[in-house]
Chain A
């Protein structure tokens, strides 16, 4: 809303933005990122829980005068900087480990967990693992309009507990979230989206990422610290901080995700393309894919020696999980759920079906009554789910309006290719899980990892120093 107002202002037209009370702090932060203050008309309270009479009264007595005043303003003042900030790369504190933790905590620079002190020598070790210059800027990121520099990646990588050799991967992660299609500007939304990093290619082995049992649990250094890095980066560079900070409007939220890796040898053995290959890369290319999720399904156990038995169980278990929230994607024509399928299950399915055949089955059978989907859409923010309009706008295929019967079954996933599939987890168990996205926010975005010229040497050192070579 403010971004639309900013476009109008830049075109020379005065604007006023209607903002509910709960979003005022985020509005302030966005305006700081814009470098100026824009007129805001506050709707006091929560519009979704007011009666019609109360709502009308607030429109007349609060919004109306604020809109008139905002449009009549004489000038717009630039937002004064909160304080004079240090230069990038400057030393800002000198203290013991405990004092460093307290300093970072006081300045909202940590995620509440202890951080590794980003000393110059530690940061330098990270910078030596990339051919790129420390002051290179990948992009200026919302919402604080900070420059996503290579240096900032190194500093936050150190803090997160990453190893220097993760640096090329960390850079690719930031390139992914900086891609305009990723819509990082939405990462502070109330459903609380959390990015998940999916790693593909030889770097899984090089960096000792876990793709096996407990793949999404904290415990393996690479998975854990790389996942933590991204959450820290979203706080420190993008400005998504929960109170006492601002910018992150996640109503309840959940913890950051550790980085996910695919069991690529297994996928290869069963004849399926790897996740990375499905994202358009070669089997020898190291790639990161980042996508946002807002919920994780129950562990889904399935049994049987045929593909259909497992696919049916996916539908039975994941259908109810998806059904409440899928309208958000249907309304926007894009929703990209991710299935993490246990290796033993993938092996059974792959003996009969390709990945695309599994996708088609799920797409055809993950359905729910149209009327129920419309009802659920109204609960969040009085969002009308107008199937006819969405088909007319080209966002939905015509199957959604084959009849007007509210009991007709409509698909939860708009297109089969929107379903992502990763083979990972405990090969000795028959469990899978589904990861649910939040409509168009943070769609799967992949970037190739650019390794430095010295990578072969780094890789040799890594292999020489590794206690057990093939743990995953």
Chain B
């Protein structure tokens, strides 16, 4: 005599719910999926495919294998563009990060008012085009107010955008102007997250402001620092808008950064294959940077744990 437990297997019970939810799920993500496929997935793959061709948009694409990549790696203008971009990043990133952290500490200690915070982030709210226009005017060799003032000092008028030496640092400086407040805000939020008890303990132990900053604040800001550094590195490597508005790659190609060179190849020379190949190289480079930075800065550990 066998006893039959008339239990319906659980799997039969469960099978109904996820299925009936599935189509709802797909419906919810439908617009986003369309957007993703059409403007992210397909372009990424299409771009890769174009990079293996020679194509000028008018005639049919001609398959050339790795020729574009080969050409890029042997193109002195490509390496020059890369080097100019690196120069820009070297001028921009360290100074910007340093100033942002100092500003954040100053904000934390001295500022309570939302009005002042608003003033500090004002530059970030402006389009990069606006920022470029503003400084194109202020740094104008003839009429710009900065040069009018410098004229009265021993330094004298400077060429800024019109000098092959000064152009890249100038562009770096105006982007620091634009981003300093925003990055300071991020660091400020990070500092706010540090428990006050840590500072109180340090204060009891008689630590100076400098020691507190160096030994406590900075290490505890590591997750925020990593985020700021990685996003700033990725962002500054792709500098374009400012160059397009102020110098268009000049004077004498001294500001022809990588994305500008790619843009020229695509939309001035109509070498779509070559341009997309270089953009793929840029992509690879940024991925490598990100991985290196994350490993180097041990982003996964927070010293508070």
- Do A and B interact? no
